[in-house]
Structure 1
Amino acid sequence: MSAPAPSIPSPATRIVIAGAGPAAQALVRQLELARFRGSITVLSNRDDASEELLELAGLPCVSVRFGQPASFIDAESRSVATADGMEFSYDQLVIATGSAPVAAPVEGAGRCLSYSTIDDATRIGEAVREVTRKLGRRPLGILVGTGAAAGQAEAVLRARGVRPIRTTVRPATVVPSISGSGLAASGVVFEDGSSMNGDLVVLAEERVSRDGLAASASLRTAPNGGIEIGQDFRTSVPGIWAIGDAAAFDGVRLGLLVAAASAAGACATQLMTAAPARQPAQVAA
């Protein structure tokens, strides 16, 4: 009678996250809260180390690779290559590369409020509350943009008591505030010299998903951009997931549908139940 084969511990799940923005950071936090005990590698396209990323990098199971953005996915071997030639094997890959503005920033855009995802609603609400307090009246807002993001921004402003004036014409520059509202911008100037003035300016311009990784892994993408996902955040290729603005659900950029923390929590739950791709080797009796 042969001796029983020695037990072999199951390998720890390796999760690689392509991207290091708000959605990626929220996912790492949710996995930590769920007591994930595998390894998490975050591939960041930025060389600088923000306080939030340094905090995540201090977690026992997390490795943040600064300045090493993912550039190619080999879905068959389950590995990701970075722009500088490094390769990282994964059991589960999450693409969280975000989105980018379609056009170059309006001159002075840094002085404005911006709306690109649902998460911006809270920040805008806090700013509006402060402006209202300082002015002692209902603010007048200038809203620049078209599409779904601008529509959501208008609803947010109205719900916060702002009287929004919306323009679909892109301004040439932003007018600095002199109203004492507490915000740095209060109006816009157009190419023909005309202008619109108020108490605050919100830019809700179109953005496009950073979904360039999709082609290397043959992932399905939405007609207007974004990696197609199901309700469980899975893409069309096993072992690959997408969250945040890199993803699209029913053709809509995910950031316009679900808050980053909510998406990260739901995705983390799915990842915790996903089995590692690797199988332990069999030992002969």
Structure 2
Amino acid sequence: MSAPAPTPSTSAATRIVIAGAGPAAQALVAQLDRARFTGTITVLSNRDDTPTELLELAMLPQVSVRFGQPASHIDAVNRTVATADGMEFAYDQLVIATGSAPVASPVDGAGQCLSYATIDDAPRVAKGIQKVARELGRRPVGILVGTGAAAGQAEAVLRAKGVRPIRTTARPAAIIPAVVSGGSASRQAASAVVFEDGSSMTGDLVVLAEERVSRDGLAASAGLQTAAGGGIVISRDYRSSVPGIWAIGDAAAFDGVRLGLLVAAASAAGACATQLLTEASAAPALQAAA
């Protein structure tokens, strides 16, 4: 989705706070910057790492990134957000983009395989399949682990790339990599899954598409409506049930489905940025009328 049109008239007093610092939050900051948003943006990072993309955004003059200070409580009446270490930030508009987390602990060796959690993972998985196919000189045999919507989407990606997936809903105990040689080149790819009973399945690549749960813990403190299966309930314009609070990425749910399975992070960020800019532009007029 293209960036929102520049709106230089936005109020310099507008304060946007973003809870979360993953891909959806980063995309939102980038969209607001492209649209020449003139207010302030505070990002409360719930991440332990400091990715290059986030560091670059932190260098923007209107952006303040609070590393390692995740939001822990929202006072929706006074429009403030408190962090885990007791700091408090006032906001005019708050966007929750805290993402999701795996339901179960990581499978041993999971780092050696492809993973599918949101629709944004589709291009990366497709590229991984193409790479393995080139190295093998044939269509790879893929093992797909998982159930639910994420696994269904991952299966569609595999089939679109000519891979007939061998699907299992049983959770493996470990993923075993094997070295595949081709002339002077070699690669290490996840090629087998081993189950608790000692049985195994072999293939050329493994895709994990396990269940995840939205990180929607902030919802309770703000009185936000949540979906039965988790996730902050949003409307089509990414508004939550409480004025001034929005949600994008996997922290949100639309029609009961985790948003990351429905809309790419950049598209959600672009649409939400447009709404935020509209709100910021309207604020001075409302204040003058009052």
Question: What is the rounded CA distance, in whole Å, between the counterparts of 2:211 and 2:160 in structure 1?
Answer: 22
TM-score, with length taken from structure 1: 0.92
Alignment partner of 2:228 out of 201, 223, 235: 223
Q: Distance in 1 between matches of 2:188 and 2:274?
A: 40
Q: Tell me the equivalent position of 1:19.
A: 20
Query: What stretches of structure 2 of length at least 5 have no aligned partner?
Result: 1-9
Q: Distance in 1 between matches of 2:46 and 2:22?
A: 10
Does the CA-based 8 Å contact 1:179-1:199 persist in structure 2? no
Counterpart of 1:267? 272
**SS class of match (2:277):** helix
Aligned to 1:70: 71
Structure 2: how far apart are the matches of 1:265 and 1:10?
A: 19
Tell me, yes or no, if the aligned pair for 1:19 and 1:69 is still in contact at 8 Å: yes
Residue aligning to 2:83: 82
| Secondary structure of residue in 1 paired with 2:60 | coil
SS for the counterpart of 1:255 is helix
Q: Hey, what's the Cα distance between the residues in 2 that align with 1:231 and 1:47? A: 31
Aligned counterparts of 1:183 and 1:129: Cα–Cα separation in 2: 15
Distance 1:37 1:103 in 2: 42
Q: Distance in 1 between the 2:192 and 2:251 partners?
A: 31
Q: What SS does the aligned partner of 2:158 have?
A: helix
Report the aligned-residue RMSD: 1.8
Superposed displacement of residue 249, structure 1: 0.2
The equivalences for 1:173-252 within 5 A come to: 173-180=174-181, 182-252=187-257
Q: Which has the larger radius of gyration?
A: 1
CA contact (8 A) 1:121 1:153 kept: yes
Determine if contact 1:131/1:183 at 8 Å carries over to the other structure: no
- The alpha-carbon deviation at position 10 of structure 1 amounts to 5.3
Distance across 1 between alignment mates of 2:11 and 2:96: 25
1:91–1:277 Cα contact (<8 Å) kept: no
Alignment deviations for residues 196-252 of structure 1 (CA, whole Å, 9 cap, x no partner):
000000000000000000000000000000000000000000000000000000000
Aligned twin of 1:166: 167
Q: Distance in 2 between matches of 1:72 and 1:18?
A: 10
Runs of 4+ that moved beyond 4 A = 276-282
Q: In the TM superposition, what whole-angstrom CA distance separates every residue of 1:167-204 from its partner, at most 9, and x where no partner exists? A: 00000101112334734311100111110000000000
Partners of 1:11 and 1:186 lie apart in 2 by 54
Question: Distance between the aligned counterparts of 1:125 and 1:21, measured in 2?
Answer: 22
* 1:118-156 Cα distance to aligned partner (Å, 9 max, x none): 010000111111111111111100000000000000001
Aligned to 1:114: 115
Query: Cα deviation per residue 1:19-58 (whole Å; 9 max; x = unaligned)?
Result: 0001000100111111111100000023442211110000
Matches within 5 A, 1:85-100: 85-100=86-101
Match of 1:255 in 2: 260
Distance 1:49 1:34, change over 3 A: same
Greater CA deviation, 199-208 or 11-20?
11-20
Length, aligned pairs only: 275
Q: TM-score, normalised by structure 2?
A: 0.91
- List alignment gaps of at least 5 residues for structure 1: 1-8
CA–CA distance in structure 2, aligned partners of residues 172 and 10 of structure 1:
54
Measured at CA, do residues 47 and 107 of structure 1 come closer, stay the same or move farther in structure 2, by a change above 3 Å? Answer: closer
Paired residue secondary structure (2:167): strand
User: 1:161 deviation in Å?
Assistant: 1.2
